[in-house]
């Protein structure tokens, strides 16, 4: 019987941080160890929920985009488009209004619209309404 060593998630991340992708793949001894190799390559692959999210404050115009089932966007004064994630307050989601939004850019998810970085809104202030 093969003895298995249990390690904690913190230990796994530490090990993964010490290995380069080549090291991780070279240390795979059997095809059944492929999951181990993947886990060693990227701690964020193993623990995507613990990836750091960038907090940001943006000012821009709210737009409705007719892509797929539709998507809401914040277009900044610099012309950068952020996709507002589902679940944002309905008072924010009014096309044409200008708002100051505080939130997190979510790099761990993809959306179907893919119109820009995904923005999870934490709070907002309406500046003007058209």
| pLDDT of amino acid 70 | 93
Residue pointed to by tokens 């907002």: 124
What pLDDT sits at residue 91? 96
DSSP code of 36?
H
pLDDT at 8: 61
88: which strand partners? none
Question: What single-letter DSSP state applies at residue 55?
Answer: E
User: What pLDDT is stored for residue 54 in this prediction?
Assistant: 72
User: Would you state the pLDDT for residue 1?
Assistant: 52
In the prediction, which pLDDT does 30 show? 46
31 CB-near residues (< 8 Å, 6+ apart): none
| DSSP-derived secondary structure letter, 26 | H
Return the pLDDT at 130: 72
In three-state secondary structure terms, 41 is helix
Per-residue pLDDT, 127: 96
User: Which neighbouring-strand residues pair with 84?
Assistant: 72, 119
Tens-digit pLDDT profile for the chain (130 aa)? Answer: 555 555 566 566 656 666 555 544 455 444 444 455 544 544 444 444 444 567 899 999 999 999 888 999 999 999 999 999 999 999 999 999 999 999 999 988 889 999 999 999 999 999 998 7
Crossing angle of helices 34-41/9-18, nearest 10°? 80
Would you give the end-to-end CA distance of the chain in angstroms? 71
pLDDT the model gives residue 11 = 60
């Amino acid at each position: 019987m093969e003895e298995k060593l249990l390690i904690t998630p913190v230990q796994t991340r530490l090990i993964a941080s010490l290995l380069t992708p080549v090291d991780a793949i070279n240390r795979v001894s059997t095809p059944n160890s492929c999951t181990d190799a993947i886990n060693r390559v990227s701690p964020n692959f193993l623990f995507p929920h613990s990836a750091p999210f960038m907090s940001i404050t943006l000012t821009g115009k709210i737009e409705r985009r007719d892509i797929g089932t539709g998507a809401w966007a914040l277009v900044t004064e610099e012309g950068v488009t952020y996709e507002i994630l589902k679940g944002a307050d309905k008072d924010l989601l009014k096309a044409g209004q200008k708002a100051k939004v505080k939130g997190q850019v979510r790099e761990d998810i993809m959306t179907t619209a893919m119109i820009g970085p995904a923005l999870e809104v934490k709070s907002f202030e309406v500046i003007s309404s058209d």
